[in-house]
Structure 1
Amino acid sequence: MKSNFFLYLFLLGACSSPKESEIKSEKRIITAGGTITEIVSELGLGDLIVATDITSTYPTKMKELPSIGYRNQIKSEGILSMNPDVILAETDYLSADVVAQLKATGIEVKFFEKPTSVKGAFSLISDLANYLGVTEKGKLIQEEVKNELLELAQFLEKQEVVEKPTMLFIMARGEDMVFVGGDDTFASSIIQLSGLQSPVLGFKDFIPLTPEALAKFNPDYILMFDSGLATLGGEEGLTKIRGIEQTHAFQNGQILAFDGLLLSGFGPRVAEVALEIAKSVYP
């Protein structure tokens, strides 16, 4: 009798287990947003992704999948051709018309806030893990990130710094489109996390960079996307940004460039890139 009772408990547990097996076997997922794609892959569900957007560059195998495009370039026809069950997208990434067309066909569209802080990173990992029925896996990823953040904190504690160096994030799309990252952006968050400080900016979001602003900010370090630096022709092309030659950062060769998704994604690798930046500044 007792053995039958334990068998009943086992079967009950099997029947009430998370819907992970259901999702793994049935769902065809399209992701729109590099951080979402990275987290879904880290959760062990990357094989369910049938198409992504052009910002989804990690893991690298995601670049081999069909692309749905980028933001307002995305059309419902391209998505529908992939026969997805669900679209996982950053908030406001898809146009209202595209969302309405997709929902009219019965396809589920689920939006998630793009993180710009460590707190946001943890929330997105949790939200995606819960939605996809792999809550425990999400908790494991969060623990890994916490351990890496602890390593970062221990490294920074060892540095004897009287005053933190200043770092300015510059986003370039060729010499005619150069912007500076303000307060309350991923740029200010990653700079602070890395143990540095932004110059006193006095603005939020991203604004066009002027020579006058560069002279005013005069950062010790400049941080960029490697793709943005490439649009200028590499470090040799930085002189195309007017006023940059007068900064401490340029004069001392203190220009740092990282992969765009790694730097701005605030996904599972957020502590990794912050530690890389910190070690570049505090060797």
Structure 2
Amino acid sequence: MSGSRITKAHGGLRQPNRREMTAALALSALGLGGLALPAALPGAALAQTPDRIVVAGGVITEVIYALGLQDRIVGVDSTSQFPAEALKQKANVGYVRALSAEGVLSLKPSLIMAIDGAGPPDAVSLLTESGVKIARIHDGLTPDGVTSKIAAIGAAIGAAAPAERLAAQTKARFDELATLRSGIAKKKRVLFLLSLQNGRAMVGGRNSSADGIITLAGGINVADAIEGYKPMTDEAIAAAAPDMVLMMRNSSAHNTTPDELFTMPAFSQTPAATGKRLVHMDGLYLLGFGPRTPMAARDLMAAIYPEAAIPPLKTAAAP
């Protein structure tokens, strides 16, 4: 069996075991076909600099592009939607939580960068066992978490100094955002609605990215009794009394309209229904928690508090 291909058992052939699969995938990644590596050189084939990076996590892609080092990327996952050319110019390795180890390794990466939650676990395990260097990036959802994330990405690709500058610029924007937030006299209540499945609302609770961005924008997350992204009952939604409902904008499918949403029993009696306060925002911009997050939080703040005439961030214009 060639090292660049793994086949299922057929007829009298034996199904390869996990160790054999890992070895075959690693050989494929190094372009060595069925050749065996000398035992004395276990790390010799690993690149000394990460010049062939495969990314699993849209925010990682965004940061690398912001650093001007996109030429090092050979593959991205399907959440890498900013900038738009990333998915057009780079190989697509699939959804961040449903990666194929063989697909990733076929790009012969010298570094795999994976955000929290990248998976599935079996694929990550195979990638780890392949011998290719993996940088796991923590997906922080606070200003400090974002700046630490940017610094960690830069350090992993040998660009620590420019990444520190980008992190400092991002921190300045968060600081200006905090000043705007401090001027909010009375906070409004916001419900993040991830989806409506058969009439059931899937919402963003505490410790979710939705909760993080609502907090940064000076709002109150009405679903904080729920952990993460989970369904919320009609009764709970009505009792939560959101002043505004927030959803991600879907560029390829139907977006729920205010008329559709506020005729549903769960939403019809909420304060948000009075003015049909439904806001759509781009998903990665809203929930990516990268360099653009201070601007996204400012835009959300302006949507939550239209009467306050929230100004643009002055630091957003900085080079």
Matched, 1:221 2:231: no
Aligned to 1:93: 118
Residue 224 to residue 122, structure 1, CA distance change in 2 (3 Å)? same
- Residue among 235, 240, 261 paired with 1:238: 261
Root-mean-square deviation over aligned CA pairs: 2.3
Q: CA deviation at 1:228?
A: 9.2
- Residue among 162, 183, 199 paired with 1:137: 162
Deviations 1:12-64 (A, max 9, x none): xxxxxxxxxx74xx610110011111112212211211111111101111121
Q: CA deviation at 1:106?
A: 3.0
Give yes or no for contact 1:172–1:232 (8 Å, CA) kept in 2.
Answer: no
Query: What one-letter code is carried by the residue in structure 2 that aligns with 1:56?
Result: S
Give yes or no for contact 1:232–1:240 (8 Å, CA) kept in 2.
Answer: no
Residue 252 to residue 78, structure 1, CA distance change in 2 (3 Å)? same
**What's the secondary structure of 2:247's corresponding residue?**
strand
Residue 242 to residue 46, structure 1, CA distance change in 2 (3 Å)? farther
Question: Structure 2: which 5+ residue stretches go unaligned?
Answer: 1-47, 310-319
Give the distance between the partners of 1:240 and 1:247, measured in 2 at CA.
Answer: 11
- Residue among 60, 68, 72 paired with 1:48: 72
Aligned to 2:99: 74
Alignment of 1:129-168 (within 5 A): 129-159=154-184, 161=185, 163-168=186-191
TM-score normalised by length of structure 2: 0.74
Aligned to 1:61: 85
Q: CA deviation at 1:92?
A: 3.7
- Residue among 61, 64, 67 paired with 1:37: 61
TM-score normalised by length of structure 1: 0.82
- Residue among 115, 123, 138 paired with 2:140: 115
**Deviating more after overlay: 143-152 vs 32-41:** 143-152
What is the aligned residue count? Answer: 258
Residue 200 to residue 171, structure 1, CA distance change in 2 (3 Å)? closer
Query: What one-letter code is carried by the residue in structure 2 that aligns with 1:224?
Result: M
Residue 97 to residue 199, structure 1, CA distance change in 2 (3 Å)? closer
Give yes or no for contact 2:187–2:219 (8 Å, CA) kept in 1.
Answer: yes
Question: Structure 1: which 5+ residue stretches go unaligned?
Answer: 1-21
Q: CA deviation at 1:239?
A: 4.3
**Deviating more after overlay: 56-65 vs 230-239:** 230-239
Matched, 1:187 2:210: yes
**What's the secondary structure of 2:69's corresponding residue?**
helix
Q: Which has the higher helix share?
A: 1
Q: Which has the bigger relative contact order, CA under 8 A and spacing at least 6?
A: 1
Query: What one-letter code is carried by the residue in structure 1 that aligns with 2:243?
Result: D
Q: CA deviation at 1:97?
A: 2.5
